[in-house]
């Protein structure tokens, strides 16, 4: 008995000190481990004279329970205080002002491409892509462009080999061919991307951007084309009314063909779209030539439709008041900071395209 009381008192004292988890665990083994003090007492039960045995065992159990409970509650206490400590350290003050981490800006051309894609996807156009390095067939031949056509001229086209088989695409129209070759009609796609022509001045850059549109189905006619472009221009410039005119033109891959101008005026030194008596050409379009459809194994008796090619850079210049095309490609950080867009602000029709 003396032994039991001694153990209890000694450990009550020990457990009252400030302990960490591993110290408690050490005490636990000291008491209840295989050769622990309490465990050894239990082993003695058999050697105790019979009349004392019952009392010894019951006292031992009481001491064991008491110490065990104390140890468990200590462990619990330590664990809770450790969690609290951790929570305190990991606390984030959400009321603190954000650090200005947004360093980059979205280039106005990328922004414009996103806006265009959003506008056309609202009316069922899918976005397609094609490579910048094209073959002569997709860029010219399949598009009904004869061998002697001036567009094939070295002065306009960047050829990549002597045989003039590989080139930098001169327009996004080869994506029409790629799309129609790989799928079955109907087709309703746009294809934004880089295009290249040997041209360079204030309004021409050897690399520029276009977005191609193609809608092929049964019974598609020129009025669909007009309706589609009218919708697009209004959405893009975020205006209710637009002045638009179709001028007869020529492209080998469309018949009839047209160029589209939009009306504008200059008010207080700024371009205002949709009013005034000045005209600006923004795109070429027309009804896809039957030869083009034949080249991609689409039956022109059954299917027909329209195509258009819009110059993206010019649209971006008009919308965002940028007056030198070359500034787009100069990579001037200060320029981008001024004209660029917040990367977290993705343009969508319902939230507003540009804010």
What does the binding site for ligand PHE look like in residue numbers (CB under 6 A)? 171, 173, 251, 254, 284-286, 307-309
Q: Are 63 and 38 in contact (CB under 8 A)?
A: yes
Which residue is it, tokens 């880089």?
Answer: 194
- In the bound state with ligand PHE, the residue whose beta carbon lies nearer, of 118 and 173, is 173
SS (H, E, C) 315-346: HHHHHHCCCCHHHHHCCCHHHHHHHCECCCCC
Q: In angstroms, what is the minimal distance from the CB of 283 to ligand PHE? A: 7
Q: Which two tokens stand for residue 167?
A: 């080139």
Q: Please state the closest distance from residue 311 (CB atom) to ligand PHE, in A.
A: 8
Residue whose CB is less far from ligand PHE, 285 or 336: 285
Which residue's entry shows tokens 């006619």? Answer: 221
Return the number of the residue (283 or 353) whose C-beta is nearest ligand PHE. 283
CA distances from 238 to 115, 273, 279, 345, 355 (A): 11, 10, 18, 17, 11
Query: 187 or 251: whose CB is closer to ligand PHE?
Result: 251
Q: Which is nearer to ligand PHE, 108 or 286 (CB)?
A: 286
Q: Is 155 exposed, middle or buried (0-12, 13-18, 19+ CB in 10 A)?
A: exposed
3-state secondary structure (DSSP) of residue 197:
coil
109: Cβ contacts below 8 Å, ≥ 6 apart: 209, 312, 313, 316, 328
Q: Shortest Cβ distance from residue 319 to ligand PHE (Å)? A: 20
Q: How many CB atoms lie within 10 A of CB 99?
A: 6
Least distance from ligand PHE to the Cβ atom of residue 286, Å = 5
Nearer residue to ligand PHE within complex by CB, 112 or 257 = 257
| Phi-psi domain of 245 (left: phi exceeds 0; alpha: psi -120 through 50; beta: other) | beta
Measured from the CB atom, the residue of 212 and 235 that comes closer to ligand PHE is: 212
Name the minimum Å distance from CB 230 to ligand PHE.
17
As measured in angstroms, the least distance from the Cβ of 135 to ligand PHE is: 16
CB of 119 to ligand PHE, least distance (A): 18
């Amino acid at each position: 008995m003396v032994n039991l009381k001694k153990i209890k008192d000694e450990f009550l004292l020990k457990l009252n000190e400030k302990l960490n988890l591993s110290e408690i665990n050490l005490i636990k083994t000291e008491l209840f481990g295989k050769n622990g003090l309490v465990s050894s007492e239990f082993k003695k039960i058999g050697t105790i004279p019979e009349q004392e045995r019952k009392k010894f065992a019951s006292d031992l159990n009481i001491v064991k329970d008491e110490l065990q409970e104390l140890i468990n509650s200590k462990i619990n206490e330590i664990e809770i205080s450790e969690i609290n400590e951790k929570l305190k350290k990991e606390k984030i003050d959400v009321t603190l002002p954000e650090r200005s981490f947004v360093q980059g800006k979205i280039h106005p051309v990328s922004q414009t491409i996103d806006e265009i894609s959003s506008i056309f996807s609202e009316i069922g156009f899918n976005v397609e892509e094609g490579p910048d390095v094209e073959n002569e067939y997709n860029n010219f031949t399949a598009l009904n462009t004869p061998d002697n056509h001036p567009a094939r001229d070295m002065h306009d086209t960047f050829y990549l080999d002597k045989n003039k088989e590989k080139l930098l695409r001169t327009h996004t129209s080869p994506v029409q061919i790629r799309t129609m070759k790989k799928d079955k009609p109907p087709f309703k796609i746009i294809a934004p991307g880089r295009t290249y022509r040997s041209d360079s001045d204030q309004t021409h850059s050897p690399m520029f951007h276009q977005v191609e549109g193609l809608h092929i189905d049964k019974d598609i006619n020129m009025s669909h084309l007009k309706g589609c472009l009218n919708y697009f221009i209004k959405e893009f410039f975020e205006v209710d009314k637009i002045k638009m005119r179709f001028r007869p033109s020529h492209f080998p891959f469309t018949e009839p063909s047209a160029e589209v101008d939009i009306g504008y005026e200059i008010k207080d030194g700024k371009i205002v779209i949709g009013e005034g008596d000045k005209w600006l050409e923004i795109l070429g379009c027309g009804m896809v030539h039957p030869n083009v459809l034949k080249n991609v194994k689409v039956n022109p008796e059954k299917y027909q439709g329209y195509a258009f090619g819009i110059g993206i850079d010019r649209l971006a210049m008009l919308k965002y008041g940028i007056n030198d095309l070359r500034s787009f490609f100069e990579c001037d950080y200060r320029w981008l900071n001024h004209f660029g867009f917040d990367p977290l602000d993705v343009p969508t029709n319902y939230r507003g395209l540009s804010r």
